Chain A
Amino acid sequence: MEDTRQERQRQEVMVVGVDESELSLYALQWTLDRFFAPYAPHFPFKLIVVHAKPSPTSAISLGDPGVIEVLPIIDADLKKVAAWVTQKAKDICNSRSVHDVTFQVMEGDARNVLCDAVEKHHASVLVVGSRGHGAIKRAVLGSVSDYCSHHAHCTVMIVKRPKIEG
């Protein structure tokens, strides 16, 4: 019993950023496979899964006066996406039998949301997929993961999907 209590005190926090992209959900899954599943049930990290829900005003370009009416519709849509992402993340965690997970949806730009989450939870690791925000087709580091690797105050892990070996 003593050991478990000590371990819990020592337990460090890992924040994983997820969005609707398959790549970030892959990052969550990869992290669970490598860093959690082998250590069951004494997981070395406390896992916090954070989804950054973009604010409706950032999702559209403001200029048209008629746009104000559309905002609630857009917001509802974004909320749906956030719920879907959270559910997907929950499914992935459950499939790997990792149950003590906190899921958070925070509104704002993913870059700031993730760095703030790291500060707030005093995380020791931040995990992001390589194409951070949405489906950017270019094969480069996404702007979110690039920003986080520069600005987060903790260790950053950028998970990339390996190319299928032909």
Chain B
Amino acid sequence: MDATTATGTAPLAAGGPVEESTVVGMVMQEPVAAETKLKMKVMVAVDESEGSFYALRWTLDHLLRRSSPALAADGDEVEMITLVHVQQPFQHYAFPAGPGGAAFYAASSVVESVRKAQEENSALILSRALHMCKESMVKAETLILIGDPKDMICQATEQMHTDLLVVGSRGLGKIKRAFLGSGSDYCAHHAKCPILIVKPPKEASKQ
């Protein structure tokens, strides 16, 4: 995990000069002309939860509204978002419940099949997310990271100089009463960039 998070000069996305010009664009405070819009780099964290897909849907509807067919023809106007999915590393061992048990290591075949299942899972999630973006005529790139979701997302936003991170409010640790999951809360505290926390619509959150 540490190898990938060396310095800011090892970005996961496109080359350095492009990012630098984006940074300069942010610092300029003059209102920009219609042609040279400030392109906001948005990263949306998706996982299996419906909340994260709703967050993506909200982002596509609200942040990227100006993507009308006329504008889409001019490739310059279409926003680009980054979809990030974090796979949790599979624990290769299991502790049996009885007393005096040692850790049993999972057979390599089990590890393989779990890894395959995880990859398929990620692929499914990201393809669904990509499909949503395509429908809204938004270019999207995908990113799969392995590790603890909270840390990986925060690191990714730093490395890619994201302008806005979008997360759902509740992920996999679904505690129904909480309005904000621990993952989103962690990101809200630790991400260095602005963060948008999308809550599910009121009808969905029955208590």
A to B contact number (C-beta, < 8 Å): 77
Grouping DSSP codes into helix (H, G, I), strand (E, B) and loop, the A interface class, with mixed when no group exceeds half, is mixed
Say yes or no: A163 contacts B192, CB within 8 Å: yes
User: A12–B62 Cα gap in the complex (Å)?
Assistant: 9
User: A37–B202 Cα gap in the complex (Å)?
Assistant: 30
Say yes or no: B198 contacts A155, CB within 8 Å: yes
Grouping DSSP codes into helix (H, G, I), strand (E, B) and loop, the B interface class, with mixed when no group exceeds half, is loop
Across-interface contacts of A165 in B (CB, < 8 A): 8, 23
Say yes or no: B197 contacts A158, CB within 8 Å: yes
User: A97–B194 Cα gap in the complex (Å)?
Assistant: 23
Number of interface residues of A (CB under 8 A): 35
Say yes or no: B189 contacts A30, CB within 8 Å: no
User: A150–B58 Cα gap in the complex (Å)?
Assistant: 18
Nearest CB of A to B7, in Å: 12
Nearest CB of B to A115, in Å: 11
User: A77–B65 Cα gap in the complex (Å)?
Assistant: 43
Q: A96-B31, A97-B31, A163-B192 are in contact. Are A44 and B65 (CB under 8 A)?
A: yes
Enumerate chain A interface residues (CB-CB to B < 8 A): 12, 29-30, 33-35, 37-40, 44, 95-97, 124-125, 140-141, 145-146, 149-160, 162-163, 165
Enumerate chain B interface residues (CB-CB to A < 8 A): 8, 23, 26, 29, 31-32, 34, 37-38, 40, 58, 62-63, 65-66, 163-164, 178-180, 184-185, 188-189, 191-199, 202
